[in-house]
Amino acid sequence: MNNFTLHLPTKVLFGKGQIAAIKQQIPNGAKILMTYGGGSIKKNGVYQQVTQALQDFEVVEFSGIEPNPQFATLMKAVTLARQEKVTFLLAVGGGSVLDGTKFIAAAINHQGDEWEIVKSHGQVITQALPIGAILTLPATGSEMNGNAVVSRKETQDKLGFFSPYVKPQFSVLDPTTTYSLPTRQTANGVVDAFVHTFEQYMTYPVNAKVQDRFAEAVFSTLIEEGPKALAEPENYDVRANIMWAATMALNGILGVGVPQDWASHAIGHELTAQYGLDHGQTLAIVVPAIMWHQRESKKEKLVQFAQRVWHYQGNDQTEGVKIAIAKTRAFFEQMGTPTRLSAMVLMTVNSQLY
Ligand code: NZQ
Ligand code: ZN
């Protein structure tokens, strides 16, 4: 196992009804910028719960943070936040809203060109306004980590940055907020969390038994619960298990002390930047191909994955690798997420035709 430092400062408020508890988490007298996306929170009751909980605070709203948040949109929020002199940011939504809010938090008091924050992958960040989050889409782990991904249309950039300053101070994970997710977003989230686990697990063994077995628990949970969430969107236990699995997949715990390989994400981000595919959709296409491409260098972990996650009983390396890849592809397909670019092209053409 490699050396590591782990610091998880985010307080997690998990479960039904926890949105009401945010009032105890935000400093008295804070002036809040509440950020959200295209309006899903107004349809599923989350907006009402949040505004109810914030009754005693001064709140400014910024809506319209789009999926794969755009630099230009976020800069409008930065301007508003500076004008209004807000002191606390509350992000309500999926990974895009959370990531966008992390950028806003770092940019408000940044001296110089704000794009540097993204371009330097967070290196230039020396401060950020405090952030709280209410997560409505389990997928990215943004609710407990210091990562954010920001896109810029004009230059076709989609780049990630990291800073410890933008880790949320608290995050609310209420599984009932996810009942309203469209099937495609539920599937995207399960695939994304699966692939986060994969990127930190599928390298070579370093005898990190706890990390390996935690990762295998997350894989197995997503495999068991993912299809159930599609069939029973309002099953609390299913949603709760998916929500916690997705947070665990990228809050830092699986990745400590082990080698990581984020190639699938790097390629996926380019596909989103070029063609606008959802983040989860890109990963379902890239991962099975990457597994095949790296079958030699990663064979020990591929076989362990086949045995422990996919219940392969044998010991044959070639067979184990094939099973690992075939089962992973079948799982993504079972979630309704195509695993070939050609299928995605067909789906897009069909949705334009009908
Ligand atoms: O904008 P609204 O109206 O809220 O609708 C959103 C959006 O259209 C909708 N949605 C969210 N919660 C909902 C809901 N609809 C109904 N009911 C709910 N409860 O879902 C759509 C997609 O939301 P988005 O936030 O874009 O999805 P996701 O959480 O998958 O985030 C994707 C972004 O996160 C980045 C991705 O690259 C992408 O930009 N990532 C962030 C990471 C991180 N911070 O650590 C790691 C990931 O690998 C990923 O790169
Ligand atoms: Zn991801």
CATH no. for residue 248? Answer: 1.20.1090.10
Residue 1 belongs to a domain: no
283 located within any domain: yes
pLDDT for 354 equals 52
323 contacts 310 by C-beta, under 8 angstroms = yes
- Shared domain for 286 and 312, answered yes or no, is yes
- Is 5 within a domain? no
Q: Which of 44, 32, 46 is nearest to 101 (CA)?
A: 32
User: Which ligand 1 atom lies nearest to the CA of residue 99?
Assistant: 44
pLDDT at 344: 79
Q: What pLDDT score was predicted for residue 353?
A: 57
Task: Kindly state the tokens that stand for 307.
Answer: 């045995």
CA of 189 from ligand 2 middle (Å) equals: 9
Residue 297 inside a domain? The answer is yes
Ligand 1 atom with the shortest distance to the CA of 177: 19
Predicted confidence at residue 345, as pLDDT, reads 76
Residue 4 lies inside a defined structural domain of this protein: no
What is the predicted pLDDT for the residue at 352? 66
Protein residues placing their CB within 5 Å of the ion ligand 2: 192
Q: What SS3 state is found at 188?
A: helix
3-state helix, strand, coil in the chain (%, to 5): 55, 10, 35
H or E stretch covering 133: strand 131-135
- The residue out of 177, 196, 218 marking a domain boundary is 177
Q: Which residues of the chain have pLDDT under 50?
A: none
Q: Which residues pair with 28 in a beta bridge?
A: none
Pair 128, 32 in one domain: yes
Residue of 191, 279, 281, 335 with the most ligand 1 atoms within 8 Å of its CB, for mutation: 279
DSSP line for 164-175:
GGGS-SEEEE-G
For residue 283, give the nearest of 341, 229, 325, 226 by alpha carbon: 341
Alpha-carbon span 57 to 66, nearest angstrom: 26
Does 3 reside within a domain? Answer: no
Closest to 286 (Cα-Cα) out of 326, 321, 338: 338
How many domains, the chain? 2
Residues 169 and 186 in one domain: no
Q: What is the pLDDT of residue 347?
A: 74
- My answer on whether 148 and 233 are in the same domain is no
pLDDT of residue 346: 74
User: Count of CB atoms within 10 A of residue 64's CB?
Assistant: 15
Cα–ligand 1 centroid distance for 67 (angstroms): 6
Which of 177, 202, 232 corresponds to the end of one domain? 177
What is the extent of the structural domain holding 336? Answer: 182-349
Residues 33, 105 contacting (CB under 8 angstroms): no
270 and 147 both lie in a single domain: no
Amino acid at 6: L
Same domain flag for 273 and 172: no
Using the atom order of ligand 1, give the atom closest to the CA of residue 137: 12
Specify the residue with its C-alpha closest to ligand 1, atom 49. 140
Residue 354 is assigned to a structural domain of this protein: no
Closest-approaching ligand to the CA atom of 194: 2
**Residue 209 within any structural domain of the chain:** yes
CB-based pocket (< 6 A), ligand 1:
37-41, 44, 67-68, 93-97, 99, 136-137, 139-142, 145, 147-149, 177-178, 180-181, 185, 188-189, 192, 250, 265, 279
